[in-house]
Amino acid sequence: MKIYVEENYQKLSKKAAYILASQVRLKPDSVLGLATGDTPLGMYRELAAMHQEEDLDFKEVKTFNLDEYYGLEKENPQSYHYYMMENFFKYVNIQEKNIHIPDGQAPDIEEACRRYEQLIRLMGGIDLQVLGIGRNGHIGFNEPDVKFEATTHLVQLDEDTIQANARFFDSIHKVPTQAISMGIKTIMQAKKIVLLASGREKREVIQRALEGKISPELPASVLQLHNDVVVILDREAAGGLK
């Protein structure tokens, strides 16, 4: 595990973008696993700028997002489809056919999850997976007490996650309580993982995930078992590390 501690969020974002850009330059048809949330926003801005100014080419890149709320239409501004379009995809030359995000409205969820896993395999697996981390240690929407062997599946969101995400909705009652998420096994099968965390509120969970015991109670702790993980933190998030 390689840990970079950057001075601030902007430098963290640049570092993450640089790693993704290098991946794409080395392998133009890379399969990228992508995350939503606040943390990767700066990285997406940097990548969009690299596309505009340095011709970073996304034409052959394929993407698979980690998760999507269950029950939200793609057009809903709180959906992760909408987030990805508005914060990243519309600024780069990725082809629509190469974008994959779990379908939060699939009529047959189990079939949709199976198909998602199949597609990842068909594309040759994820070359580089970007992750954020929840305050409760979730990665994707794999909440505490997750099964490490799970692949893409329907999950029940934790109370802490619902509260953390309520800031994006008019009221906490409008936050979906379920989501479709890649499983821990899906994430662990990625060839390379880049975990990002910023801010004081991630300090404790980062310390536990990287230095504590490996346990389904703290899903991100499983990353200690992966042989190619790059962790990029800002000083505030890194403050608890020994």
CA distance linking residue 65 with residue 52, whole number of Å: 23
Segment interacting with ligand F6R, rule: CB under 6 A, options 42-50, 101-109, 110-118, 137-145: 137-145
Q: Are 135 and 37 in contact (CB under 8 A)?
A: no
When binding is defined by CB under 6 A, the residue of 33, 104, 134, 183 that contacts ligand F6R is 134
Catalytic residue list = 67, 136, 138, 143
* Smallest separation, CB 186 to ligand F6R (Å): 12
Q: Are 63 and 99 in contact (CB under 8 A)?
A: yes
Closest to ligand F6R by CB, 30 vs 129, is 129
Distances in Å between the Cα of 197 and the Cα atoms of 25, 58, 110 are 25, 25, 31
Would you count residue 176 as binding ligand F6R (CB under 6 A)? no
Would you count residue 158 as binding ligand F6R (CB under 6 A)? no
For the chain, how many helices (H) and strands (E)? 8, 10
When binding is defined by CB under 6 A, the residue of 13, 30, 36, 152 that contacts ligand F6R is 36
Residues 61-80 that bind ligand F6R (CB under 6 A): 66-67
Q: Are 228 and 131 in contact (CB under 8 A)?
A: no
When binding is defined by CB under 6 A, the residue of 50, 139, 146, 175 that contacts ligand F6R is 139
Would you count residue 189 as binding ligand F6R (CB under 6 A)? no
In the chain, the amino acid numbered 9 is: Y
Query: Computed from CA positions of residues 20, 179, 39, 47, in that sequence, does the dihedral angle turn out positive or negative?
Result: positive
Distance linking the first and last C-alpha atoms of the chain: 15
CB atoms closer than 10 angstroms to residue 228: 12
Segment interacting with ligand F6R, rule: CB under 6 A, options 35-43, 96-104, 107-115, 229-237: 35-43
Residues 5-34 that bind ligand F6R (CB under 6 A): none
Would you count residue 137 as binding ligand F6R (CB under 6 A)? no
Closest to ligand F6R by CB, 35 vs 232, is 35
CA distance linking residue 211 with residue 205, whole number of Å: 10
In 54-191, DSSP assigns E strands to 62-65, 67-69, 99-100, 128-131, 153-156, 178-181
Would you count residue 138 as binding ligand F6R (CB under 6 A)? yes
Would you count residue 140 as binding ligand F6R (CB under 6 A)? yes
From residue 190 to residue 229, what is the string marking binding to ligand F6R with x (rule CB under 6 A)? Answer: ----------------------------------------
Residues lying near ligand F6R in the complex (CB under 6 A) are found at 35-39, 66-67, 132-134, 138-141
